[in-house]
Amino acid sequence: MTKLNKKVLMLVVDDEKMLVEAIKEKLLSEGFGVLVAYDGEEGLSLAKSQHPDLILLDLLMPKMDGMTMLKKLREDTWGRGVPVIILTNLSSADEERNKDITKLEPTYYFIKVDKTMDEIVEKIKERLNLL
């Protein structure tokens, strides 16, 4: 278990409640603060009001999908700079969606949800320069 010097706040936006709970527990055990949202509307609202240090975002969700949330987030002055890691089941065959995201910001990471929790935490730490 890693303890962080400063409380780093994560926002997890995904409609799969069991997955969200598993990610939340892992992030809490690593010393992160965690906010959760189960759709893009709630996620966008939390992101703009709480300014998390990083957002874990699913693409396929109700009310507002992750791609729409991401585009709206990037319209916000603060939202342009927040790191986002995409959590998705989309395969590499979904090239059009991937191209849309990389046009918004070339430094996104795509992590399949079949990755281990340790791999997700490693990518978060890498993205936030915590390694």
Q: Is residue 75 part of a domain?
A: yes
Predicted local confidence at residue 32, as pLDDT: 95
- Condensed to tens digits (0 to 9), the pLDDT of residues 32-76 reads 999 999 999 999 999 999 999 999 998 888 899 988 999 899 899
User: Are the beta carbons of 120 and 29 closer than 8 angstroms?
Assistant: no
Would the pLDDT of 88 be above 50? yes
Q: Which residues pair with 8 in a beta bridge?
A: none
Would the pLDDT of 128 be above 60? yes
Q: Alpha carbon of 18 to those of 5, 23, 28, 66, 80: distances in Å? A: 29, 9, 15, 18, 29
Strongest mean pLDDT among 63-67, 103-107, 108-112: 63-67
Under the banding of pLDDT at 50, 70 and 90, the label for residue 4 is: low
Q: Across all residues in the chain, what is the average pLDDT?
A: 83
- Mean pLDDT within 101-106: 52
Q: Is residue 131 part of a domain?
A: no
For the chain, the domain total comes to 1
Q: Is residue 3 part of a domain?
A: no
Predicted local confidence at residue 116, as pLDDT: 85
Q: Is residue 4 part of a domain?
A: no
Record the pTM.
Answer: 0.85
3-state secondary structure the chain: CCCCCCCCEEEEECCCHHHHHHHHHHHHHCCCEEEEECCHHHHHHHHHHHCCCEEEEECCCCCCCHHHHHHHHHHCCCCCCCCEEEEECCCCCCHHHHHHHHHHCCCCEEEECCCCHHHHHHHHHHHCCCC
Under the banding of pLDDT at 50, 70 and 90, the label for residue 106 is: very low
Q: Is residue 129 part of a domain?
A: no
Q: Is residue 116 part of a domain?
A: yes
What is the extent of the structural domain holding 37?
A: 9-124
CATH number, domain with residue 38: 3.40.50.2300
Q: Is residue 105 part of a domain?
A: yes
Would the pLDDT of 6 be above 80? no
